[in-house]
Structure 1
Amino acid sequence: MDAVVNFTNQSQGRDRIFRATQYACALSIYLLRNTPERKDLVAKLTSLEAHMSAGRKLFRLGNTVNSIEAAKRTLQLSDRVLCLCLTVANINRALYFICDNVLWARSVGLIRDIDKERWSLNASRCYFLSLVMSLTRDVYVVIQLMVQKVRDKHFRQKIDQHLSENPEVAEVVIPQLDAFLFLLLKTLKSHPAVAYDMLKNICDLFIPLDRLGIYQSNAGVVGFCGLISSLIGIVTLAQPKLRIKP
């Protein structure tokens, strides 16, 4: 119970609960959209989704400063690839929050003379670039970890044993590809923080891709991916050891 209280006391914790609820509603609405007897439920879920979205915008009012501070910290990283990826990701994240704050101000009537669609598209572009750079960081970290494993003599023996125990691989799949997949899966399994972050970023990527028209999916796919990434976010916030660093 103490863990639940501590989690909900955090602004990030509340935001992620709201986010999970928002996308759960979006997925449910998509699944029930053609069920006439569920029209009242769909209407309630639509209203709840809108309230969750508005609540999240309020929680994110201070996140621009947090992202700028994060960008300052990542500038100090000695690894140039990580420095570039994380700094660009944090800068775009800050720009995304600025656009999001402007949209919130318009929704409550503080600002009127702005193009809502234009600001929304700009927010999606910044969000997309932030996710691309974060995913690039994930791939870079995975490659580094895979290289370390390949240099391990004991692990190379495991790969050879895996291939020798599966002779049918050579007839169906290129042995080198099977060895690569074996290495990749073992790497992700032994480093769950990287695996969780990569899966989260991949799921999140469908949201701006659909919004920008780069890859059109549907509300069900967006809702499902948003729900999965939100649940991962809740897990990694509740269990700091599962959060990728830096």
Structure 2
Amino acid sequence: MDVLINVINQSQGRDRIFRATQHACALCAHVLQHNWEQKELVDKLKSLEANLSAGRKLLRLGNAASAIEAAKRAVRLSDRVLCLCLTTANINRALYFICDNALWARNVGLVRGIDKERWSANASRCYLLSLITSLTRDVYVISQLMVHRARDQHFRQKMDAHLNQSPEVVDVIIPQLDAFLFLLLHSLKSQPSVFLDTIKNICDLPLPLDKLGIYKSNAGVVAFCGLVSSLIGIVTLIQPKLRIKP
């Protein structure tokens, strides 16, 4: 119970709980949409999803400032690849939140003259660019982990022993494939935060891709991916050691 209260007390925690509930409603509505006996329930789920989406936009007011501060911190990183990826990702996150806040202001009638479709498309583009640069960071970190592991003498002995136990895999499929997968899996196992962040970013990709029409997915796939991403985000709040750094 203390863990739940701690998550709820954080603005990020509330947003992720709302997001998980929103996508769970969308997923349930998609599954039940062809069941005419559940039409009333489907309508309620869609209404709840819309209300949660509007509530999340209100919770995200001010997130642009947090993203800008994160970009300032990223600029000071000594690793130039991480510096470039994280700075670009956070700048695009800030632009996404600015577009999102403008759309919220238009929806509640605070401002006029905003082209909803244009600003929504711009928000999705910024979100997509942020995800792409975040995934680039994940791939870079994974490659660094693999290089570090490959140079470890104890691990090399362990990998050689594994390959000697199943030489037919290497000979029959693709040379070095088994060694690569063994190295990759053990590298991710040593840093579960990197694995979780990679899965989270991959799961988030269908949302902007679908909105921009780059790769259309059905509502069920988008909702499921969004739910998985949200649950991972909640887990990283409950267990900060599972949150990727920097």
* SS of residue matched to 1:61: coil
- Structure 2: how far apart are the matches of 1:149 and 1:234? 30
- Structure 2: how far apart are the matches of 1:102 and 1:176? 51
Task: Check conservation: 1:97, 1:123, Cα contact below 8 A.
Answer: yes
- Structure 2: how far apart are the matches of 1:222 and 1:49? 14
User: 5+ residue gaps in structure 2?
Assistant: none
Match of 1:72 in 2: 72
Q: Deviations over 1:47-102 (max 9, x none)?
A: 00001100100000010100001101100000000000000000000000000000
Task: Check conservation: 2:170, 2:176, Cα contact below 8 A.
Answer: no
Alignment of structure 1 residues 1-246 onto 2, 5 Å: 1-246=1-246
Deviating above 4 A after TM superposition, structure 1's stretches of 4 or more consecutive aligned residues are none
What TM-score, normalized by structure 1, do the two folds share?
A: 0.98
Q: Deviations over 1:122-157 (max 9, x none)?
A: 000000000000010000000001000000011111
Shift of 1:168: 2.5
* SS of residue matched to 2:60: helix
- Structure 2: how far apart are the matches of 1:159 and 1:208? 40
- Structure 2: how far apart are the matches of 1:139 and 1:223? 25
AA matched with 1:188: L
- Structure 2: how far apart are the matches of 1:118 and 1:220? 25
Shift of 1:171: 4.3
- Structure 2: how far apart are the matches of 1:105 and 1:49? 19
- Structure 1: how far apart are the matches of 2:124 and 2:188? 29
- Structure 1: how far apart are the matches of 2:168 and 2:96? 50
* SS of residue matched to 2:167: coil
AA matched with 1:100: D
- Structure 2: how far apart are the matches of 1:194 and 1:170? 27
Task: Check conservation: 2:170, 2:177, Cα contact below 8 A.
Answer: no
What RMSD in Å do the two structures reach over aligned CA positions? 0.9
- Structure 2: how far apart are the matches of 1:170 and 1:79? 35
- Structure 2: how far apart are the matches of 1:141 and 1:17? 28
What TM-score, normalized by structure 2, do the two folds share?
A: 0.98
Task: Check conservation: 1:163, 1:175, Cα contact below 8 A.
Answer: no
- Structure 1: how far apart are the matches of 2:24 and 2:2? 26
